[in-house]
């Protein structure tokens, strides 16, 4: 999932004017919207199908919660391919952060059993001798996976863990968010480590590190240090791909950093969002989907399945982004204040498809 932000953008910024109106910008028409949902209903995983029904079809949130529970293991962690880039049924810290993103979207509170079990898993899997979490276990090496998730037998870390931030910064954010479930001594230790790591983080940041830090700052909300927020905005300005020709490749597109106007990094990319929205609408495939811009280069049969799973997720995420920015076009769209549902702009609460263009 992408950098959906719970907190409002810093004071002095605002959403583009076209979020509030219906004129003069390109929007995804109803036919294309329906084609996107048809693709999700046909090919996405069960969880993403249930989320889409809840967001866009007035479905029951409990169906999505049940599907989320189905990919949570008895140890509290998430697995079962929730992160499509590794086909691991067993739990991992990385997949558990994804699970908590879904829980946040669905509005699950700290006391909900899914959240409590996931936080317990993260607490239990902290490595005090190394002062960090490992994103994935070595067992990833034994299942089909993207090469960047291969775990080094010596360091016990995967290829994406070149710095402390990924996924540790995000994990600390979730622990802070649900801090009444976390031992005080552990929370103090990892919060101090996060602040120290951010001060010492290289510049420009890796895109994935930046997204993890953005989730950390979002979790802290008003308690995020102003200097930290300003640092992240500075890094976003440096990292974001500004040239349209770069957007077809995997990288830091403006909407990847700010998929909603209330995303914490929105002020850094605000001037680019309208152009990126126009471009993103044009990337919809004939089958209604949006597709990943990367591939594994190995395990071709498993990648073919993972690619479809990613397409389902990216299609739901793209519809959420278009809704958040007022780009779902219908002549009788009901415009209400965009509802922030547990960390993301919930299109169900803000825009409802009622009729064709």
CATH code for the domain in which residue 325 is found: 1.50.10
* pLDDT confidence of residue 316: 98
- Reported as a single tens digit per residue, the pLDDT across 98-147 is 999 999 999 999 999 999 999 999 999 999 999 999 999 999 999 999 99
Residue 155 lies in a domain: yes
Residue 7 lies in a domain: no
- Reported as a single tens digit per residue, the pLDDT across 280-290 is 999 999 999 99
Specify the DSSP element, H or E, that contains 351. strand 351-352
- Reported as a single tens digit per residue, the pLDDT across 164-202 is 999 999 999 999 999 999 999 999 999 999 999 999 999
- Reported as a single tens digit per residue, the pLDDT across 203-214 is 999 999 999 999
Taking the C-alpha atoms of residue 205 and residue 195, their distance in angstroms, rounded to an integer, is: 15
pLDDT band at 234 (very low <50, low <70, confident <90, very high): very high
Residue 273 lies in a domain: yes
Taking the C-alpha atoms of residue 206 and residue 343, their distance in angstroms, rounded to an integer, is: 23
Q: What are the residue ranges of helices labelled H in 165-224?
A: 165-177, 184-200, 207-220
Q: What is the mean pLDDT of residues 230-238?
A: 98
* pLDDT confidence of residue 23: 53
Q: What is the mean pLDDT of residues 215-234?
A: 97
Q: Is the pLDDT of residue 357 over 70?
A: no
Residue 3 lies in a domain: no
Instruction: Compute the 3-state secondary structure of the chain and give helix, strand, coil in percent, each to the nearest 5.
Output: 55, 5, 40
- Identify which of 102, 103, 75 has the alpha carbon closest to the alpha carbon of residue 91: 75
Residue 322 lies in a domain: yes
Percent of the chain whose pLDDT exceeds 90: 85
Residues in a beta bridge with 328: 28
For the whole model, what pTM was predicted?
0.89
Range with lowest mean pLDDT among 36-50, 65-79, 189-203, 324-338: 324-338
Taking the C-alpha atoms of residue 253 and residue 17, their distance in angstroms, rounded to an integer, is: 21
Taking the C-alpha atoms of residue 311 and residue 308, their distance in angstroms, rounded to an integer, is: 5
- Reported as a single tens digit per residue, the pLDDT across 242-277 is 999 999 999 999 999 999 999 999 999 999 999 999
Provide the number of structural domains found in the chain: 1
Taking the C-alpha atoms of residue 343 and residue 82, their distance in angstroms, rounded to an integer, is: 19
* pLDDT confidence of residue 339: 32
Contact status, residue 280 vs residue 318, Cβ threshold 8 Å:
yes
Give Cβ neighbours of residue 114 (< 8 Å, ≥ 6 apart).
65, 68, 69, 72, 99, 103, 108
Q: Is the dihedral of CA 269, 310, 105, 279 positive or negative?
A: positive
Residue 80 lies in a domain: yes
Percent of the chain whose pLDDT exceeds 70: 85
Query: Taking the CA atoms of the chain, what radius of gyration do you get in angstroms?
Result: 19
Taking the C-alpha atoms of residue 273 and residue 288, their distance in angstroms, rounded to an integer, is: 22
The 8-class DSSP code of residue 8 comes to P
pLDDT band at 354 (very low <50, low <70, confident <90, very high): very low
Taking the C-alpha atoms of residue 333 and residue 30, their distance in angstroms, rounded to an integer, is: 10
CA 141 to chain CA mean position, Å:
24
Structural domain boundaries enclosing 66 = 17-352
pLDDT band at 353 (very low <50, low <70, confident <90, very high): very low
* pLDDT confidence of residue 16: 53
The tokens of 267 are what? 């002020």
Q: Is the pLDDT of residue 20 over 50?
A: no
Contact status, residue 332 vs residue 352, Cβ threshold 8 Å:
no
Higher pLDDT, 4 or 250: 250
Q: Is the pLDDT of residue 93 over 70?
A: yes
The tokens of 348 are what? 């169900």
Higher pLDDT, 24 or 236: 236
The tokens of 304 are what? 């073919």
* pLDDT confidence of residue 25: 80
Range with lowest mean pLDDT among 12-21, 101-110, 263-272, 306-315: 12-21
Residue 297 lies in a domain: yes
* pLDDT confidence of residue 330: 55
Residue 251 lies in a domain: yes
Residues in a beta bridge with 127: 132
Higher pLDDT, 347 or 123: 123
């Amino acid at each position: 999932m992408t950098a959906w932000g719970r907190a409002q953008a810093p004071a002095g910024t605002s959403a583009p004017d076209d979020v509030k109106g219906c004129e003069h910008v390109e929007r995804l028409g109803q036919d294309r919207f329906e084609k996107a949902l048809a693709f999700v209903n046909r090919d996405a995983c069960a969880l993403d199908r249930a989320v889409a029904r809840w967001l866009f079809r007035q479905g029951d949130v409990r169906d999505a919660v049940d599907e989320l529970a189905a990919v949570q293991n008895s140890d509290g962690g998430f697995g079962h391919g929730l992160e499509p880039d590794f086909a691991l049924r067993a739990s991992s810290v990385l997949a558990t952060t994804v699970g908590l993103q879904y829980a946040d979207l669905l509005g699950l509170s700290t006391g909900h059993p899914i959240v409590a079990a996931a936080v317990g898993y993260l607490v239990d899997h902290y490595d005090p001798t190394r002062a960090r979490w490992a994103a994935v276990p070595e067992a990833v090496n034994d299942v089909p996976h993207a090469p960047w998730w291969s775990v080094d037998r010596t360091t016990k870390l995967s290829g994406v863990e070149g710095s402390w931030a990924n996924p540790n910064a995000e994990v600390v954010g979730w622990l802070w968010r649900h801090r009444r479930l976390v031992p005080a001594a552990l929370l103090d230790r990892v919060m101090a480590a996060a602040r120290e790591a951010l001060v010492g983080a290289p510049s420009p940041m890796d895109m994935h590190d930046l997204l993890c830090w953005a989730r950390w700052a979002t979790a802290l909300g008003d308690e995020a240090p102003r200097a930290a927020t300003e640092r992240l905005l500075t890094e976003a300005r440096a990292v974001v791909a500004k040239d349209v020709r770069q957007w077809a490749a995997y990288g830091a597109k403006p909407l990847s950093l700010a998929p909603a106007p209330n995303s914490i990094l929105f002020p850094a990319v605000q001037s680019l969002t309208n152009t990126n929205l126009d471009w993103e609408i044009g990337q919809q495939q004939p089958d209604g989907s949006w597709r990943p811009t990367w591939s594994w280069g190995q395990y071709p049969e498993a990648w073919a399945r993972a690619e479809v799973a990613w397409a389902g997720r990216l299609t739901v995420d793209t519809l959420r982004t278009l809704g958040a920015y007022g780009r779902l076009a219908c002549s009788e769209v009901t415009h209400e204040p965009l509802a922030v549902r547990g960390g993301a702009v919930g299109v169900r609460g803000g825009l409802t498809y009622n009729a064709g263009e």
